[in-house]
Amino acid sequence: MLIYTGAKDIHSFLLKNKSNRRSIGFVPTMGALHSGHLSLIENSKKLHDITVCSIFVNPSQFNQKDDFEKYPITTSKDIELLLSTACDVLFLPSTQEIYPAGWNSEAQIDIGDLANIWEGHFRPGHFAGVVQIVKLLLEIIVPNAIYMGQKDYQQCLVIDKLIKSQHFDTQLHMCPIIREADGLAMSSRNSRLSASAREDALVLYKALCYIKDNFQLQSNHELLHTAESYFHNHENIKLEYIVIADRNSLSALIDQKENAIVLVVAWIDGVRLLDNSLL
């Protein structure tokens, strides 16, 4: 596996390969890799000659300093995992390499309402940071396709909008959520959960399963009412939101049963976890 830390170096390497008709699949991550990330790399490898993974903990997308400072960094283990999946190229830049003039100096791109509801509402500035880094990475990597997880469903919609509005010649592939054996969605933040918080964290998956299993039997309001009660039974769990929404606009659905997704975010012992399920 080739490891690049310089943006210009990896850009010219990949451009040369592209001009030799080699296709590039790209998997952006913030590291602390797990099987969810590796599944994106495996999906890319099926369709592309070169798979590039980036690891960069992007400061501009954290709306809480504490969350940024506590974000797990496990670079040597990440490199071993990438070698085990036969990833071709790792881009591992420093913050200075990505933002030589500081991240506040970059012009912002307006994504519209999609960036302001749910995650955008509860994490002000988050999507501006995500859009900023993904745009820079797309310019550096020039991939034919970008692979992202359904786990961050709203992020996929936002990046799809970025790709279309900026006319990037890149296809977005949204890949399924990879879960632990008991159903908890894999996440780098799971490593911050204590043993008891890890058990409590299953409540997100249970609430999603309840809604999915009963979706055609009850009204959306009834489903959400019962699912919310799951969270109220645990005192160290704080539900941030659970909503049945339209898959494209993400606006809340009152009665509609078509084209729906349920999105949930909860805090468990100070760790913010998110999950979703297509209905």
Q: Give me the residues that bind ligand AMP (CB under 6 A), please.
A: 29-30, 36-37, 39-40, 148-149, 151-152, 175, 177-178, 185-188
Q: How far is the CB of 4 from ligand AMP (least distance, A)?
A: 18
Range list of β-strands (E), the chain: 2-4, 24-29, 50-55, 89-91, 145-149, 171-175, 237-246, 260-268, 271-278
Q: What are phi and psi of 26, to 5 degrees?
A: -130, 135
37 is catalytic: yes
From 37, 48, 167, 173, the catalytic residue:
37
Q: How far is the CB of 165 from ligand AMP (least distance, A)?
A: 19
Nearer to ligand AMP (CB atom), residue 44 or residue 188? 188
Q: Which helix (H) or strand (E) covers residue 119, if one does?
A: helix 119-122
Q: How far is the CB of 27 from ligand AMP (least distance, A)?
A: 7
**Alpha helices (H) in 58-94, listed in sequence order:** 65-69, 75-84
Nearer to ligand AMP (CB atom), residue 190 or residue 220? 190
Task: Tell me how far the alpha carbon of residue 47 is from its chain's centroid.
Answer: 21
Q: Tokens at residue 76, please?
A: 């040597």
Nearest to 90, CA basis, from 176, 29, 49: 29
Q: How far is the CB of 230 from ligand AMP (least distance, A)?
A: 21
Whose tokens are 């659970």? That residue is 242
Nearer to ligand AMP (CB atom), residue 57 or residue 109? 57
Residue type at 167 in one-letter notation:
H
Nearer to ligand AMP (CB atom), residue 185 or residue 227? 185
- By annotation, the residues acting in catalysis are 37
